[in-house]
Structure 1
Amino acid sequence: MSLPLFLGSEIYRGSSYGDWHPLRVPRVSTVMDLARAMGWLPAAQYLTSPRAKPQALTIWHTPDYVAALERAEADQAVSEAVRARHGLGTVANPIYTEMFRRPATAAGASLLAGELLAQGGMIYHPGGGTHHGFPDRAGGFCYLNDPVLAILSLRRAGAARIAYVDIDAHHMDGVQHGLAGDPQSLLISVHEEKRWPFTGTLDDDGGGNCLNLPVPRGLNDTEMAAIRDRLILPALAAFAPDAIVLQCGADAVTEDPLSRLTLSNNAHWDVVRGLMALGCPRLLVLGGGGYNPWSVGRLWTGVWATLNGHEIPDRLPDTAEGVLRSLRWERPPQAGRIPPEHWFTTLRDARRPGQLRTEVADRLALLAQRPAARGIIPE
């Protein structure tokens, strides 16, 4: 199999949702810089993401919404009617300079990934993973839904059965909206319970093809390993997909400000490694949530190392350490914290094991009995 490809863009470097928005922090650019500093991103493995043309987005998004998003960027303003209908110009989905170009770049990479994977391979697209977008509306920092666009592109390029796995701290509401009940798709979401968008309950099977696992706060590495080994990997093996899409949101780690889960980045890398071991011919790994620049940059760079089989050193070289020391995260005074030294000098967190709580084990046992967990999706 050919080496994995990294889809990136310089648009992420200078683009920000606003001074105090959670997505003001550098993320994709940090991964690009760290991977290059480690010698892990040669030119032959890097492709610049294209920007999706408006017409290409309408394979799932409505033409009216795409046009409204373009106009909002051009005018840097929206009417009250547009705000109410399309969710643009809100606190979560603000007006900013690249509000069409940036998500259209993420969408373009996901559409391209489907085409590039026609003959198989692995692609990493950390700028993707915007799983809260709806056909006619922005939601949860997501103006477009590039995971759905990736799945549609994969299908158009010949992948019949597609599995989507989402380990972001927040439920994949937009992806489920787009693919619920699709007999050729298996959707698995592991997310924090009682957290926005408050969807994806344990009894929500999305018409038979969704395995939703809401987890309690404090989820630890031991519990995530059980979820991987008792639910995710067996369900994928039974479904036997032609392609797997992993949304690898980085907001379920202890350091993230927008969840109350306590994973280390090892848990995410172990999921990636487990999916690779299944031998599926096509694997696309997307980014997603993650709002601490150091934890996101370290986690997502480790994902790229895992895909390539690179050994993660105990201590970073000076060039990589310099990338992490150059990061800034301006926060309100009451949220201030001096970054610990290991945020600068390492990629790997200390593992965070713990007890496998009864409530997690019971939910896993319940989901394992669902037809979808045994590869059976109703027509």
Structure 2
Amino acid sequence: MDKAAYMYHPDSLKYVFHQNHPFDQRRLTLTRDLLQQVDALSIDQIFVPTELPDHHLLQQVHIPEYIDVVKQLSVEHPATKAMDHAAQYGLHQGDTPYFAGMHQSALSIAAGSVTAAQMVMEGQTTHALHLGGGLHHAMPQKGAGFCIYNDAALAIAHVREAYGARVLYIDTDVHHGDGVEMCFYTDPDVFTYSIHETGKYLFPGTGRVEERGAGEGFGFTVNLPLEPYTEDDSWLECFETTLHQVLERARPDLIISQHGCDAHALDPLSHLHCSMQIYREMPRMIHEAAHQWCEGRWVALGGGGYDIWRVVPRAWSLLWLEMSNHPLLQQIDQEPLLSLPEVWLERWQVESPVDLPRTWLDDVTRWEPIPRRDEITLSNRKICEIAATYLK
């Protein structure tokens, strides 16, 4: 029988750039409270990592100079020399500004993902969820896209070193998983698969279908860049079709998936037009794949998601309900517009600047139709066909 662990480090709540920054860790609290309100998360399922990644593991992903600068910029009043080098390492006053306590909070997030992978590989749990993780844009030499340390890459590096396992990394964030891809671009034992909005109009501007890996890792990278305003049916069609082919090629011992939920139509930082339906169906597909290919070994991480009130709590709760085989999912499947708990709605509506949704899934019949739907669907299919030819 499946056992699922919910990884949580309280210091991850301290990963805060500034008050008005779109990366808002209140989404972790909103999600956990929603799960507890529906009796889907018990104390014995929550694990707090006790060990932080050491310098050896950090250096498997990040260069020593970058780690040192992160530490120097993490104090209350950094030295002028450190501040002068901030932009060089991506820690400027743009999307990833340095802040006090940055190193420790980013390290605690990395600890959650590494510990989750370790617990799964050692058989302590079948599945593990770490919603604080998924900081997939951090590069070996710099921070980027709200990401300081690449916890996903650190978890993969630990699994490779400690267990020699083959890893399939699945990235479903609307933004290309560029940092993880870069870290393992030449490694044939780490297969990276990213489905995202095309970089023609969206950060980080990468993730073309032609990016396939290099050297011994050639053919072990797959990117599926989708057109803006892609909807549920096209997204799910592309994901399901490609996932089966990726699994045949990757043959993983472990699946690590990243679940940024910013492909939703309400997310303010992207242009896809999906509903909560993809966040119900996609975890189910990954869950089935984990049992088919790697004896259930599955680690799921958080990631992007910038409508913290209407989207993130529902999407991430659906992910945990799938991982933990909770019976509430059957109710949602039978009644898609099943109501969210009234206590949760009343508690958080007071703080929310927007009206909270009342149901688990979205009533898309009320949404304005996308006028270019057929054209977008055909374009996405062509991208899938190109990706498929690369997988043969």
- The TM-score, its normalising length taken from structure 1, stands at 0.89
Aligned CA distance change for structure 1 residues 261 and 304 (closer, same or farther; 3 Å): same
Paired amino acid for 2:252: P
Quick check: 1:350 aligned with 2:355? no
Partner of 2:278: 267
Partner Cα separation in structure 1 for residue 84 and residue 361 of structure 2: 47
> Which residue is 1:171 aligned to?
176
Q: Cα distance, 1:21 vs. partner?
A: 1.2
Partner of 2:60: 59
Q: What residue ranges of structure 1 are gaps of 5+ in the alignment?
A: 330-337, 375-379
Query: Given the alignment of the two structures, is residue 220 of structure 1 paired with residue 225 of structure 2, yes or no?
Result: no
Tell me whether 1:94 sits opposite 2:72 in the alignment.
Answer: no
- 2:323 maps to 307
Q: Is the 8 A contact 1:25 1:291 kept in 2?
A: no
In the TM superposition, residue 203 of structure 1 has moved relative to its aligned partner by 1.2
Q: Which amino acid aligns with 1:47?
A: F
Which whole-Å CA distance do the structure 1 matches of 2:308 and 2:51 have between them? 25
Alpha-carbon distance, 1:12 to partner: 4.1
Report how far residue 217 of structure 1 moved: 0.4
Which runs of no fewer than 5 residues in structure 2 stay unpaired? 333-337
Kept after mapping to 1: 8 A contact 2:208/2:224: yes
Please tell me the root mean square deviation across aligned C-alpha atoms, in Å.
2.1
- CA contact under 8 A between 2:230 and 2:377: conserved in structure 1? no
Kindly indicate whether the alpha-carbon contact (under 8 Å) linking 1:192 and 1:261 is maintained by their aligned counterparts in 2: yes
In structure 2, the partner of 1:38 is: 38
Q: 4+ residue stretches of structure 1 with deviation over 6 A?
A: none
In 2, are the aligned partners of 1:129 and 1:146 still within 8 Å (CA)?
A: yes
Show the 5 A alignment for 1:277-316: 277-278=288-289, 279=291, 280-281=294-295, 282-294=297-309, 295-310=311-326, 311-312=328-329, 313=332, 314-316=338-340
- The code of the aligned residue for 2:247 comes to L
- 2:251 match: 240
Deviation for aligned residue 1:233: 2.6
Give secondary structure in 1 for the equivalent of 2:260: coil
Partner of 2:140: 135
User: Higher mean Cα deviation, 237-246 or 74-83?
Assistant: 74-83
In the alignment, the residues of structure 2 paired with residue 35 and residue 85 of structure 1 have an alpha-carbon distance, to the nearest angstrom, of 41
Judge conservation of contact 2:73–2:100 (CA < 8 Å) in 1. Answer: no
- 1:140–1:26 CA distance, 2 compared to 1 (3 A): same
Q: Is residue 361 from structure 1 mapped to residue 361 from structure 2 by the alignment?
A: no
Map 1:149-164 to 2 at 5 A: 149-164=154-169
Query: Aligned AA for 2:63?
Result: T
Cα shift readout 1:185-242 (whole Å, capped 9, x = no counterpart): 2111111112111111121112221111111101111011111221013321442210
* Of 137, 144, 151, the match for 1:146: 151
Secondary structure (helix, strand or coil) at the match of 2:61 reads coil
Alpha-carbon displacement from aligned partner over 1:53-100 (angstroms, at most 9, x marks no partner): 451422321222222212211144463542132122322111323322
CA deviation digits over 1:297-321, x for unaligned, max 9? 1111111111112224511223332
Task: Indicate how the Cα distance of structure 1 residues 188 and 11 shifts in structure 2: closer, same or farther if over 3 A, else same.
Answer: same
